[in-house]
Amino acid sequence: DAGVIQSPRHEVTEMGQEVTLRCKPISGHNSLFWYRQTMMRGLELLIYFNNNVPIDDSGMPEDRFSAKMPNASFSTLKIQPSEPRDSAVYFCATRSQTYNSPLHFGNGTRLTVT
Amino acid sequence: DQQVKQNSPSLSVQEGRISILNCDYTNSMFDYFLWYKKYPAEGPTFLISISSIKDKNEDGRFTVFLNKSAKHLSLHIVPSQPGDSAVYFCAASANTGFQKLVFGTGTRLLVSP
């Protein structure tokens, strides 16, 4: 099993540009979560999906952020327009439907907005 | 509002000694708790968990203790090894909906030889 795959690993962009982060979940995992890691807030949940349906997006900081899961094997997190304060590491994590199953994280995308 | 708090940003321990990482939570609905370990440039990996029906869970060198009345849990690593040097995140979930995990801010553990 390849685990959760995120791309790109690093993204450097200028303020105002659109950024798209990608995630391929582990096959068979029905729940997908997007987290953002910052020094001040640790791992902050942005949005999560269950069976490709967004369940809770209350953690999405602003309308500039959007996420989609068009099918069971792909999800995107988009920031448009990006701002320097969006600089952080963004993690995708997935898990199965088994009760109390742990989250499996990808290696993250380090985003730098200049 | 930080529902899961790790008040110690860092901890230094000598190899062979015990490491104790602490975590406090505020939401009384939380009933499942986990610890994750994170190395640089990698995603967090699951380490150990505990259900609220227990007060202790042990896995090798790692033991998690839960004090529900104090809303406090701790992770003990005995003996500590240099390879344990990482950031440790405490996380909690409630038995509602889809069990979203709420994480703390992390504690960086450094185990020196």
- Predicted local confidence at residue B55, as pLDDT: 95
* Per-residue model confidence (pLDDT) at position B110: 98
Q: Measure the CA–CA gap between A82 and A15, rounded to whole angstroms.
A: 5
* CA–CA distance, B10 with A53 (Å, rounded to integer): 38
Q: Which residues pair with B49 in a beta bridge?
A: B34
Inspect the interface and report whether the beta carbons of A102 and B49 lie closer than 8 Å.
yes
Q: What is the mean pLDDT of chain B?
A: 94
Q: A43 and B43 in contact by Cβ < 8 A?
A: no
Looking at residue A62, what is its pLDDT? 86
- Identify the sign of the CA torsion B107, B87, A29, A107: positive
Per-residue pLDDT 10s for chain A (114 aa) are 679 999 999 999 999 999 999 999 999 999 999 999 988 888 999 999 999 999 999 999 889 999 999 999 999 999 999 999 999 999 999 998 887 788 999 999 999 999
> In B, which residues are within 8 Å of A42 by CB distance?
6, 89, 103-106
A41 or B44: whose pLDDT is higher? B44
Contact flag A31-B2 (C-beta cutoff 8 Å): no
pLDDT, tens only, B63-110: 999 999 999 999 999 999 999 999 999 999 987 656 788 999 999 999
Convert the pLDDT of each residue in B3-16 to its tens digit. 999 999 999 999 99
Closest CB to B43 among A31, A50, A108: A108
Q: What is the pLDDT of residue A102?
A: 87
**Could you give the CA distance from residue A29 to residue A50 in angstroms, rounded to a whole number?**
9
Q: What is the reported pLDDT for B98?
A: 61
**Least CB–CB distance from A102: residue in B34, B43, B51:** B34
CA distance A75 to chain B (A): 17
* Gap between the Cα atoms of A55 and A88, Å rounded: 23
Nearest to A81 by CA among A103, A69, A65: A65
Residue B97's pLDDT is 58
